[in-house]
A and B are shown apart, each in its own frame.
Chain A
């Protein structure tokens, strides 16, 4: 499958363009990194690719057709702050099974303890919550994953743990991953190519 963004632009209500003419393509099985200074619009771009936000101009295409508006979204986004991406009034088991039911094998490979399923989100640390967010996004219909600073807030061991299982699953299921990060070492380690954000956009 092919995920393409054609000449994407995003404009603030006051008329100022955050970015314009942003084009990128990502194939299944490919892992691509995006790097850029803070505040340049990386997160907004990630939200547009995964259908959370509409661009002011340009289109996002999945195999030459627009992104679906209903049903399971084939492009899943993982946020930097897991505590903001979960419902605080739901217990972890409900959060985990929101989109699909992950099997035991996936939970084990992500290091999710069964005991956590009965907890509330505020009783887990950021690293523990992020594992749930990753498991939740890896449903069988997921074709592309957008990892927006997925492990920035986590310690090195949790980071390695989450990335190793994500890379493993991506390889098995031929997923495409777009990695947004500041960490050059991480990008070098996981990506096949790295794009500078300002090289693909022109104001």
Chain B
């Protein structure tokens, strides 16, 4: 349904005066989702999760250049196709509540964003997400952060799109609403919709997703099945995924030292090598290629 192959994104930046440089922020990224599936993309902030969403929709800033291919439903997504599909076939739940039009009542806004969805569909979605009846008559500034997020999420639910891309749909909502929103996404997927959910909340991802892609420093280090995230994380393939799992407060709450390399760093070998407890000299030499292991894909030469 959705296939992203070897996607790279770089930004043209001014260094000093008129000197420009290309800054590669996403390198060789591949993900694929089938229809009826939910793929959760997890990873640290600054790992390029949102950029992936923006690249699929074609809403990157003008100084960005992309390489690689994106296929949607067998059609290669060109800038023209992206514009045609946006809002119809592909619906987007943005991360920031600033994406709402400050001068439009939210009910109208949701119906417009879903390209003429019916009022009853919009009301039904609002009801599901526990938004009171008078909310549709309100302007964005009259809503609390959690309510604004629910309004954003409802856009995707009434759109009837085949692919929903949700960028951090849950933070700021309270647990009961999160549960309802996630259930809604699951139902949409079960009715044949494809959902790409970008999140750092692994708990939420595990609840509804079928597959999980782990991002680190602008690349996919692993794609795993949901069941691999269990117990002590033994089933996970990449040391970063294991560390991420073990760092959860419900697990060991154990951090690993260091921080994600910046895009300027230009490491020749594995991007995780400086923080990895199992790194060897080979890790420093070549960029690890994606390998298939136990029904998952991993980018680590030591993974078994």
Q: Which residues of A contact B (CB under 8 A)?
A: 37-39, 111, 113, 115, 124-128, 152-161, 163-164, 182-186, 188-190
Contacts and interface: CB of A to CB of B under 8 A. Distances in A.
Contact of A38 (B44, B144, B250, B256): B144
B46 A38 contact: no
Interface in B86-103: none
What are the 7 closest A-B residue pairs judged by CB atoms, nearest first? A125-B46, A161-B255, A160-B255, A38-B146, A160-B247, A155-B44, A185-B250
B74 interface: no
A152 B247 CA distance: 14
Contacts, number: 85
Contact of A113 (B46, B172, B248, B259): B259
Contacts of A182: 174-175
B249 A183 contact: yes
B253 A154 contact: no
A160 B44 contact: no
A189 B249 contact: yes
B145 interface: yes
A124 B172 CA distance: 22
Counting chain A CB atoms within 10 Å of each CB, the highest count among B43, B144, B174 belongs to: B174
29 contacts: A37-B174, A38-B146, A38-B172, A39-B147, A111-B258, A115-B262, A125-B45, A125-B260, A126-B45, A126-B46, A127-B46, A128-B46, A128-B259, A153-B200, A154-B44, A154-B45, A155-B43, A155-B44, A155-B45, A155-B200, A156-B200, A156-B202, A157-B244, A157-B256, A159-B247, A160-B248, A161-B247, A182-B175, A183-B249
B116 interface: no
B254 interface: yes
B131 interface: no
Contacts of B259: 111, 113, 128
Contacts of B254: 160
Contacts of A38: 144-146, 172-174
Contacts of B262: 115
A111 B260 CA distance: 10
Contacts of A164: 253, 255
Contacts of B45: 125-127, 153-155, 158
